[in-house]
Amino acid sequence: MRSRQLLLAVLVTIFAILGSAVLVHAQDQITVGFAQTGSESGWRTAFTEAMIAEAESQNINLIFSDGQQKQENQIAALRSFIAQGVDAIILAPLVETGWDEVFQEAQDAGIPVFIIDRNVTADPSLYVTRIASDFVYEGRLAAAWLATATANREQCNIVELYGTVGSSAAIDRATGFAETIALFPNLELVASQSGDFTRTGGKEVMESFLNSLDPASICAVFGHNDDMLIGAIEAMKEAGIDPADDILTVSVDAIDDIFVSMMNGDANATVLLSPNMGVQAYAAIRSYLAGETLPALIPVPSAMYFQDTAAEEYAARTGG
């Protein structure tokens, strides 16, 4: 008897909490200030658009500020958010340093700060958490696919199209990739050069690889982004090599154009660098405001795309 009563009590409590949570969800519109770096790349634009669209669908009042590649603009935006008394602040920092003072001001005003995308060096007690893609994981994922695809080959020589030297995306993707191929004795990185994340750079570097190495000895190419790989595809075609068949390809970003290459049979695989971090960011804000504690880093899930679903995905993205 007692146990049944207890169960009933527990169930009632659960329903009460759930009910109020749903009620809160439906009624409480929260106001969030979002300070973006600027709009320097197509990926960044997609990131901004996804943040705004996700806020609308979640009934969040999003105040957006474009920093135009200037930290002082971003700091001014943060101060304006504090003055407006927003419920939470999301910052996509342009640079890592120089945020402590304004974060302190936000903390004094009782407004939580969430970091999205790039990192900051500020005292971790001054902000709640960071929502970001895991570049190391992306490198690992690319290598893991390559290991599977070449499992029955005795030796696979890989060339790498390195991103901009010194960028965290390039460093981490190279690290994740290198540590994973080290687990497979048949995989070997034979050359790596910087193509600066551009198509022209990727094409030029691939041309030089095809000249300095025996093209028949290259088994796969890993591009730190899709643009460089699209350039490399051009270089391979001009050298009489069939990309994706003679030389396997894998790259990161999952931009629209790489799906066209996959549909044409010129590229094998791409790792998604999701520009849609809004889901994780807004979920984190809601759970923080509900009093939950959050981990220091909330990763945005990566995924891989292959030739078989390329046409479908491309049509979905371009609204086809």
Partner 1 sequence: MPENKTHTEVNDVAPRFNLIQSLHRNRRLLFPVVALILILIGDRIIQPNFFNIRVVDGRLVGSLIDILNRGTPTVLLAVGMTLVIATKGIDLSVGAVIAICGAVAAVLISTTTLPPLIVILISIAAGMLCGLWNGILVAYMGIQPIVATLILMVIGRGIAQLITNGQIATFSNPTLEFVGKGVLLGFPFPIFLSLIVFGLVWLLVRRTAIGLLVESVGANDRASFFAGIDAARFKVFVYVISGVCAALAGLIVTADIKGADANNAGLWLELDAVLAVVIGGTALTGGRFFLGTSVIGAFIIQAIQTGIFVSGLPPTFNLIVQAVVILAILFLQSEELRRLFVRIFTSLRKPA
Q: Which two tokens stand for residue 18?
A: 């759930």
Q: Which two tokens stand for residue 84?
A: 């407006």
Distance between CA atoms of residues 40 and 67, nearest Å: 11
142 contact partners, CB below 8 Å, separation of at least 6: 173, 176, 177, 222, 250, 251, 252, 269, 271
Residue 23 burial (C-beta neighbours within 10 Å; 0-12, 13-18, 19+): exposed
Pick 114 or 209: Cβ nearer partner 1: 209
Question: For residues 170 and 209, is the Cβ–Cβ distance under 8 A?
Answer: no
190 contact partners, CB below 8 Å, separation of at least 6: 157, 158, 159, 213, 217, 218
Site string for partner 1, 32-71 (x = CB under 8 A): -------xxxx--x--------------------------
Pick 82 or 158: Cβ nearer partner 1: 158
> At its nearest, how many Å lie between partner 1 and the CB of residue 171?
9
Q: Which stretch binds partner 1 (CB under 8 A): 11-19, 149-157, 185-193, 281-289?
A: 185-193
> At its nearest, how many Å lie between partner 1 and the CB of residue 219?
17
Pick 110 or 166: Cβ nearer partner 1: 166
Asked if 205 touches partner 1 (CB under 8 A), the answer is yes
Q: Which stretch binds partner 1 (CB under 8 A): 58-66, 177-185, 231-239, 285-293?
A: 231-239
Pick 40 or 188: Cβ nearer partner 1: 40
Asked if 194 touches partner 1 (CB under 8 A), the answer is yes
> Which amino acid makes up residue 161?
L
What residue ranges bind partner 1 (CB under 8 A)? 39-42, 45, 162, 165-166, 191-194, 196-201, 203-205, 207-212, 227, 230-231, 234, 238-240, 257
